[in-house]
Amino acid sequence: MKILKIALCLLLIVSLVGCKETDRQAAEASPSPVETAAPTASLTPTPEPTLSPEQLLEQRLAELEQGFEDSRNELAAGAWYTAEGGETPSFWGDSLYSTAAAPVQAEAVYGGLFSFGYINDGKVSMIGSGLGSREQIEAETDVAGLAIGANHLLLMHGDGTVTGYGNLTFGKCDTQDWAGIVEVEAGVWHSVGRTHNMHAVAVGSNDYGQCEVDGWSALIDIAAGLHHTVGLRYNGTVVAVGDNSYGQCEVEEWTDIIAVYCGANYTVGLKSDYTLIACGDNANGQCEVGGFTDVIAAACGAWHTVVKTADGELHYVGANTNGQFGAEAELVSAGEYIYGTETEAGPWFYLSQVGGIAICYDTTLEKSPLRADLFCTYGHLPYGAFAAQDFTMKTTALPAKIARQNDAVFAQTGDYIGHRGNRKGVMIRQGQLLYDENKTSTMAFFPDGTMRVFFQEEAITAEELLAEGVSDSFSFWPVLIKDGAFTDNLMEYSEYRPTSRSAIGMAEPYHFISVVTHCQYGMTYIDLAQQFLDYGCTVAYNLDGGNSTSMVFMGESISRVRYNYNEMIGQRSVSDVLMFCTSEAVPDENDPYLQEPVVNAPR
């Protein structure tokens, strides 16, 4: 037993030294209590039959320690989702997350709609909402780590400095004075950093004392929750400050800890024997982690905990109200993921290598329109599709059927090009010129990821648009928003009654927002324009509405059918739609619909 105890003690020291590459670098720069190299045994070696029980135990702990090292950046949990990184990323729940192929460092949490980021070769790539200019963020270089809070982003650079983006409330992005940082963590309202000399710094909301970390030392890990902060010391003990109303800071008795994690109001520790301990809010069972063994990674969301064991399996405890356990997630093909529901409540999500889609009802509004955020990548922008593959404009079909014919993941009402009479404008679809007439306004998608609108009096021509690389333009009316403000001609439509509307706007390059309302909760043009301003759009354009109004996800109409008092009228067959992303998982047009649509509503 004495040999066993010595082996365990040595393994604890070895595992603590090997927790992070940055700690090894720090140890080289300053005196360190241990200089033992981390073991490099594989996860599943075949034990030699001649090894003693003590040696077998030592070897198993070494295997787990290596698995822990390999998995530190492969698992993340946001408030309402779970994500696993690596070469084949996946996601579950109310948000999306992706990583590139290794080597990668990544973090992500729920950020209003969704946010994800990954680092590869010192550059950060991200998709998200409310975190600042994505163009500016992606211009950052020498990025060594990142953390995304509820509505702010921290980028840690190789020189130990940190830059912050997003909501500046409470000063949680005031990191300009930080130096020598080797780890960053983002709470909801505060930010925490760990320095190369194993101290901690914090900025942001300090209502509960969660930023009072100046006296901490010998730290090898940190974590941030809703209103509390946790630090792991080199000797395996844990310190915590901040809100303790749920007991989430009661960690003073913990020992032999090698990693710490924070949920909203609870704390989890990974022990040197690769089991877990937890304290704090357990209303959803998120702290019931004591039964897991051979744990090599863990992550905490707001109310759920994810555990990865050495066999590669993921385990979950806590709230699963939004599918964060993965039951509803579906791997379609390499790098392509969908999350949906057959109910009319949503939400719906899609992620692939070319773009992301997040759709939900905006329940903050009484009329609850459907909002779809379309996150694009270069060369993959929304475009038009037709009921007839040869662009025969008088051929019509239900929007969901057109989407299925074109394998479209997302579709919404277009400009009904086949029913425009003599009020046509500049119409280009998939690089093909259909009309070049100056009879109404025009909206076009440009290769730089922007969406621009042109009034009739600007007399834009198809030749000019094609010369700038435009492959799809639409012509309808009115222009709702231009240059971040109501347009003058919008007032011409101010007396139009509330009805079903379909429109699209741009929040930033490569990030478009679609809004579809329902007739029984219809909007005026003024209301619709105001909604796009509230969403942060600088430009917005109205498309065909009324009975044509529709939003489609994975071949199913998710917008409610039109009613005339108590009589169901349904959706109108149209000639064209605006669509984004394609997938082989979209049902064939002959497959049954989840809800049989009502066809050919009268115009």
Query: What band does 378 get if pLDDT is binned at 50, 70 and 90?
Result: confident
Higher per-residue confidence, 161 vs 362: 161
Mean pLDDT of 342-366: 73
DSSP bridge partners of 202: 192
Amino acid at 155: L
pLDDT of residue 551: 93
Mean pLDDT of 575-600: 82
Tokens, residue 475: 């012509």
pLDDT of residue 418: 82
Amino acid at 518: H
> How high does pLDDT run on average in the chain?
78
In whole angstroms, what is the distance from residue 320 CA to residue 542 CA?
A: 38
**Mean pLDDT lowest for which of 140-144, 151-155, 430-434, 577-581?**
151-155
Asked if 370 and 559 touch (Cβ cutoff 8 Å), the reply is: yes
Sign of CA dihedral 215, 301, 208, 250: negative
CA distances from 407 to 413, 453, 559, 587 (A): 16, 28, 19, 8
pLDDT of residue 491: 77
In whole angstroms, what is the distance from residue 274 CA to residue 294 CA?
A: 5
pTM of the model: 0.58
Query: What band does 278 get if pLDDT is binned at 50, 70 and 90?
Result: very high
pLDDT of residue 163: 93
CA-nearest of 519, 507, 535 to 413 is 519
Share of the chain above pLDDT 90, in %: 42
Query: What band does 552 get if pLDDT is binned at 50, 70 and 90?
Result: very high
The torsion angles phi and psi of 2, rounded to 5 degrees, stand at -60, -45
In whole angstroms, what is the distance from residue 36 CA to residue 51 CA?
A: 22
Q: Which helix (H) or strand (E) holds 552?
A: strand 551-553
Higher per-residue confidence, 457 vs 126: 457
CA-nearest of 600, 573, 579 to 406 is 579
Report the 3 state secondary structure along 442-511: EEEECCCCCEEEECHHHCCCHHHHHHCCCCEEECCCCEEEECCEECHHHHHHCCCCCECCEEEEEEECCE
In whole angstroms, what is the distance from residue 313 CA to residue 481 CA?
A: 49
| pLDDT surpassing 80 at residue 81 | no
pLDDT of residue 319: 75
Query: What band does 208 get if pLDDT is binned at 50, 70 and 90?
Result: very high
pLDDT of residue 76: 63
pLDDT per residue over 84-117, tens digit each?
A: 555 434 444 433 322 222 223 333 333 333 455 6
In whole angstroms, what is the distance from residue 221 CA to residue 493 CA?
A: 58
pLDDT per residue over 162-179, tens digit each?
A: 998 877 778 989 999 999
**Mean pLDDT lowest for which of 53-62, 128-137, 536-545?**
128-137
**Mean pLDDT lowest for which of 194-198, 344-348, 500-504?**
344-348
Those residues with Cβ within 8 angstroms of residue 165's Cβ, 6 or more apart along the chain or in another chain: 131, 132, 133, 136, 137, 152, 153, 155, 173
Mean pLDDT of 420-445: 89
Please return the burial class of 52, using the count of CB atoms within 10 Å of its CB with bins 0-12, 13-18 and 19+: exposed
Query: What band does 64 get if pLDDT is binned at 50, 70 and 90?
Result: confident
Query: What band does 199 get if pLDDT is binned at 50, 70 and 90?
Result: very high
pLDDT of residue 357: 82
Higher per-residue confidence, 214 vs 54: 214
Share of the chain above pLDDT 70, in %: 72
**Mean pLDDT lowest for which of 7-16, 106-115, 293-302, 495-504?**
7-16
Higher per-residue confidence, 18 vs 515: 515
pLDDT of residue 493: 78
pLDDT per residue over 216-257, tens digit each?
A: 999 999 999 989 999 999 999 999 999 999 999 999 999 999
**Mean pLDDT lowest for which of 2-11, 85-94, 184-193, 463-472?**
2-11
**Mean pLDDT lowest for which of 123-137, 149-163, 368-382?**
123-137
